[in-house]
Structure 1
Amino acid sequence: MKKIAFSAVLILILVLPNHEVNADRIKDIASIEGVRENQLVGYGLVVGLNGSGDKGRATMQSMANMLARMGLTVNNPRDIKPKDTATVMVTATLPPFPRAGNRVDALVSAMADAKDIQGGTLIMTPLQGPDGKVYGIAQGPVSIGGFAAGTGGTNIQKNHPTVGRIPNGVIIEREIPMSLNSLTEVKIILHNPDFTVASNMMREINRALKSGYAAALDPSTIALKVPESYKGRIVELIRFVENINVAIDMPAKVIINERTGTVVIGENVRISPVAIAHGGLTVEITTEYQVSQPSPFSTGKTVVVPSRKVTAKEEKAHLIQVSGASLGEVVRALNAMGVTSRDLIAILQALKASGALRAELEII
Structure 2
Amino acid sequence: MAVLTLDALLRSLKKGARNPEPVYLLHGDEDVLKDEAIRALVDTAVGSSRDFNLDVRFAPDLTPESFHALVNTPPMLAERRAVVLRGVEQLGKRKTKLRDEVVRYLASPNPTTLLVLVVAAGEEPDAEIVQASTSVALEPLSAERVPRWIQHRATTLGITLATDAGELLLKAVGNDLSTLSRELEKLASLAVGTSRPVTAEDVTSLVGVRRGETVFDLVEAALGRQVARAAQLVEPVLEQAGMSGVKIISLLGTHLVGTALARSERDRGTPVARLPDSLYRHMQSVRPYGMRSYKEEAARWTAWSGVWTGRELGRALRAALAADNALKTATVSDDRGIVTQLVLGFAVTKREAA
Same fold (TM over 0.5): no
Which of the pair is proportionally richer in helix? 2
* TM-score normalised over the length of structure 2: 0.24
* TM-score normalised over the length of structure 1: 0.23
Q: Quick check: which has more Rg, 1 or 2?
A: 1
Larger RCO, structures 1/2 (Cα 8 Å, 6+ apart): 1
Which of the pair is proportionally richer in strand? 1
